[in-house]
Amino acid sequence: MSEEKKEVKGVSRRTFISGTVAGLVVGAAAAYGATQLAVPKPPPAPAKEPIKGKYISLTVNGKPTTLWVDARWTLANTLRNQLGLRGTTKGCDYGECGCCNVIVDGRAVPSCMVLAIDADGKTVETIEGLAKGGKLSPLQEAMVKHRAFQCGFCAPGFIMTAKALLDKKPRPTEDEIREALSGNICRCTGYHRIVESILIATGQKPPLERISSGAIP
């Protein structure tokens, strides 16, 4: 009863609110029109459709390869499961541990974070490409000789990251090596022997001389 009375009297709450909203909308539209001189064009339709997967061609360890990949596959999974290169190990799968690092176009990247479909036309180097003709590379030789690793799960990531550094800078200092390897996690060795092996592989003397003095084999 009272509500009807109110409505008869004057403006009801509902009409008042809708009126205010309409006023706001008109005001906003006027302000929009004033700032936007040209009427925005309707967006153009995209030229092609999104895809679920495609054939990619990439060079893996110097060998041109063409294969079909799903849009969801990462480069680490594609290398391991499609190309059979199981040397690239997967640790965390979130780009945190550096175990899966490979060299793409001359730069070390975590391959679990690269979508395989995105690596189309790129050059990929993995741990399998280092040993030439059954002979280990000097970096690997030094690592084996000075027992840089214990369990070895993180070794491919460390070695590929170190190789990317050595390709750019043949004689890095210890600080530069530690900086370059800061994204790699090793749970066994405490990193000293890895860094010292890289120093020895580049013809430098490790600062602590623990390995080179023969105190620790």
Partner 1 sequence: MKAVAAYKYYDAETVEEACAVLNQYAGKAKVLAGGTDLVDWMKRRFMPTPEVLVNIKKIPGLSGITEEGGALKIGATTTLTDIVENSTIQSKYKSLADAAAKGPPPPIRNMGTVAGNLCQYVRCWYYRWPDWYCYRKGGPICFAPGGRNVPHAIMEQKVCNAVVPSDLAVPLAAMNATLTVQGTGGTREVAVKDLYVVLGTVLKPDEIITSVTVPEAPTKQAFLKSRVRAGVDFALVSAAAATTSKGTTVALGGVAPIMVAGTPDAINAAIDKATPLSENRYKVSVAKAMVRRVTA
| CA-based torsion, 146, 150, 154, 156: positive or negative | positive
Q: Is 143 in the site for partner 1 (CB under 8 A)?
A: no
- Strands ordered across the beta sheet of 107-110: 63-70, 53-60, 123-125, 101-104, 107-110
Find out whether 201 and 139 touch, Cβ atoms under 8 Å. Answer: yes
Please, what is the minimum distance in Å from the beta carbon of residue 150 to partner 1? Answer: 22
CB of 65 to partner 1, least distance (A): 19
Amino acid in position 29: A
In sequence order, which ranges of 78-188 are alpha helices (DSSP H)? Answer: 138-145, 155-168, 174-180
| Cβ 46 vs Cβ 69: under 8 Å | no
Mask: binding to partner 1, 40-79, rule CB under 8 A, as x and -? x--xxxxxx-xxxx-----------------xxxx-xx--
- The distance of closest approach from Cβ of residue 211 to partner 1 in the complex, given in angstroms and rounded to an integer, is 24
The nearer residue to partner 1, 111 or 146, going by C-beta atoms, is 111
Q: How many other C-beta atoms are found inside a 10 Å radius of the C-beta of residue 100? A: 29
Residues binding partner 1: number (CB under 8 A): 39
The pair of structure tokens assigned to 86 is 């199981």
Residues forming beta bridges with residue 56, ordered by sequence position: 67
Q: Least distance (Å) from partner 1 to the CB of residue 9?
A: 41
With CB under 8 A as the contact rule, the residue among 98, 129, 156, 172 that binds partner 1 is 98
* Binding mask of the shown chain, residues 17 to 46, with x at each position contacting partner 1 by CB under 8 A: -----------------------x--xxxx
CB of 67 to partner 1, least distance (A): 16
The answer to whether the beta carbons of residues 208 and 192 sit under 8 Å apart is yes
Q: How far is the CB of 182 from partner 1 (least distance, A)?
A: 4
Backbone angles phi, psi at 37, to 5 degrees: -70, -50
Out of 67, 182, 207, 213, point to the residue binding partner 1 (CB under 8 A): 182
Which positions lie near partner 1, rule CB under 8 A?
A: 40, 43-48, 50-53, 71-74, 76-77, 93-96, 98, 101, 107-110, 112-115, 117-118, 161, 179-180, 182-184
